[in-house]
Structure 1
């Protein structure tokens, strides 16, 4: 049962901290390969399309295949064990990626990382919804939602430094090791929240596929899942290919590109995530439609920032210490701030419309869509477009491939816009869905 009592315990805050750390670790292990593309490509003589398949399709297919079964498992046996086990598994596979002898072996190990990560994200969102009341859930999920941004700072930013100092193989080993320890700490120090003992009325116990089909028929959930998948196509492509774009078009080193992307862009993404969580909680108290409206506004604003960044000519720069920063990177920082605004509102919206005993399964549909279309299509789409353009424009092909990919953000804007009235209507009760939990009206809030 979700925690809509008014007391939030120290255990809840500690659990949120560890879940956020695990989410960060998942993105470090997922994104670290973006700053390692060039040395891996050189060692194994791989094309951009092959690297897109490695960073995208190979990961996405298996993440998607295991996402719903592991979400269902966590709904049945509890969130904590599934999350901790998943973290330990993917961390071990990340470490093993540093000792591969062939490109195909690296593909297989990235598949192992994908299977492990499939068991963490959706159960974590479900667990947080059980630990925090609805009025605080947006901010709690914003802290959890820092995972991609902090993962970019550490995985891309400091990953570039590690790659320069120790090489790509040692980098995999170094970033994978902490996840094993964090998984064990979760197991032994966090008390699982109390959950509803009975199935949610109105949705009888069903098989896994039938449950998924039942949930996806919730009108606003369909829009949220579709918007997440469409937005992730651009998001993953930008995360994976922008370091290479900066190396190729702005003649930066791996370390310089990683520092700018990770610390500069990642830092603004962290701030954007926190601001988005606060704005979403405040605006949705006035009109429930703003739960998705903030995602729409942020995504729309982000598009011109990204396109301007990729089209900005090389050769204009300013210096920060000894680092030469392309002037166009200022526009990337604007994109980094607003480009994450589709995540937290979607997380929070799902916790309000999904049944309690199907929450991890429902949320896993969102993460499956994000990973299948984002990780699966985003990097390989940009890689294929880059390869197709290379014969005509040479080294600048990746620049224009990323412009085309950025324009695809208009698609999630359409899904969010059309989903707002459905979501508002559902919460107002005209098309009721079983809430995660009833709200207590007669007790005084313990915190605000």
Structure 2
């Protein structure tokens, strides 16, 4: 089978363009299929006569069910020499499941399809990170992760802006079918062009999960992931509805403004953050890169409070862009740090733990939590209930900065 070369011999660039770009495109589809649901929130709610909390359960908790259960087994399989095959399997599964969501006619069938989306992305998340780390050098790992995730964040624009337009013009059912089928060719390319990386023999006698949890930098990263993603997924899954309810926009308009704003900002911030962190690390070591991530994240959060409080659409969107750009600066350093603080044969396991805690809990808890808060506040705030719910999210967003602060203190000057 032809394919790109495995890890080692990466040349002066320090990363493999074929693998990193393909992982980026797959990650972009991951975001599209994950977040296009938010553009259809209100349409699904009205068609099926659901509450905000129930829609949040379908968009978040249903996704997280098997995602949380299976991501660690999938990570173990990836660490035993099956990362490329696991990635292609995951892409194919979540793509088919998303397409089938367009054929559902009840809560049970929609929940089942959404569960399968989570299952496919549980297979892809740890395997893709292991491949990224294997096909990049330690000195360029923040850069390689920033490139892959920068491309991935284009999925915000397509999934939110494009998804909002599709929902408005062709309906939510056809939208799910169209975006789901787009992933099948990428799964095939993954099989054809990406070889399994060589792993050390010690992978057969890998350390226990307890040993990984004893790794203090990894623990800090895990706690940052949990706290940040509860807020991030809650805000993202309810962002389109927020702009529809608070500013009177249509689903297409809200999806376009929110998707383009958060998407372009995330792409730009992510592309810039990785190379900056690698350059800082070359002068000040790993602690310097983590300190850069801490300040980028911390400075971003006050803008999020202004974003949800203001009644000016222009100011809210400006604050959205600032928050997203600054927060995205730490994407490459953080995701590059996860496989860098553990042995090579435990990369997928470490990323699996991170994804389990950050994504499964983030998606599983964030959307229904802030949907529930919105329901509870509706009698008091009416149409502004969702705004107040997202204000709670903005205040909670300062918590993850504490764990980044502790992380950068773990390393010497």
TM-score (norm 2): 0.94
Deviation at 1:131, TM superposition (A): 1.0
Residue 417 of structure 1 aligns with which residue?
405
Deviation at 1:217, TM superposition (A): 1.0
Superposed CA RMSD in Å reads 1.9
Decide whether the 8 Å contact of 1:212 with 1:362 is kept in 2: no
Decide whether the 8 Å contact of 1:299 with 1:409 is kept in 2: no
Aligned pair partner of 2:356 in 363, 368, 387: 368
Counterpart check, 1:355 vs 2:311:
no
Counterpart check, 1:94 vs 2:92:
no
Residue 297 of structure 2 aligns with which residue?
299
Structure 2 segments unaligned to the other structure (5+ residues): none
Aligned pair partner of 2:80 in 73, 76, 83: 76
Query: Deviation string for 1:187-241 (max 9, x for gaps)?
Result: 01223333323339xxx435xxxx2222111011000011011111111111111
Deviation at 1:36, TM superposition (A): 0.4
Deviation at 1:276, TM superposition (A): 1.0
Residue 407 of structure 1 aligns with which residue?
395
CA change 1:406–1:2 in 2 (3 A) is farther
CA change 1:37–1:121 in 2 (3 A) is same
Counterpart check, 1:249 vs 2:254:
no
Residue 210 of structure 2 aligns with which residue?
213
After TM superposition, the structure 1 = structure 2 runs for residues 59-208 of structure 1, keeping only pairs within 5 Å, are 59-146=63-150, 148-199=152-203, 204-205=205-206
Query: Deviation string for 1:20-48 (max 9, x for gaps)?
Result: 11111111100000000000000111101
After TM superposition, the structure 1 = structure 2 runs for residues 312-331 of structure 1, keeping only pairs within 5 Å, are 312-313=310-311, 316=312, 326-331=314-319
Deviation at 1:5, TM superposition (A): 4.6
TM-score (norm 1): 0.87
Distance in 2 between residues matched to 1:339 and 1:10, nearest whole Å: 25
Counterpart check, 1:15 vs 2:19:
yes
Distance in 2 between residues matched to 1:6 and 1:29, nearest whole Å: 32
Distance in 2 between residues matched to 1:342 and 1:217, nearest whole Å: 24
Distance in 1 between residues matched to 2:315 and 2:325, nearest whole Å: 17
CA radius of gyration, larger in: 1
Residue 332 of structure 1 aligns with which residue?
320
Counterpart check, 1:344 vs 2:342:
no
Query: Deviation string for 1:253-305 (max 9, x for gaps)?
Result: 11111111112221111101111112111112222212322221122112111
Structure 1 segments unaligned to the other structure (5+ residues): 318-325, 429-448
Q: Paired residues, what number?
A: 408
Residue 288 of structure 2 aligns with which residue?
290
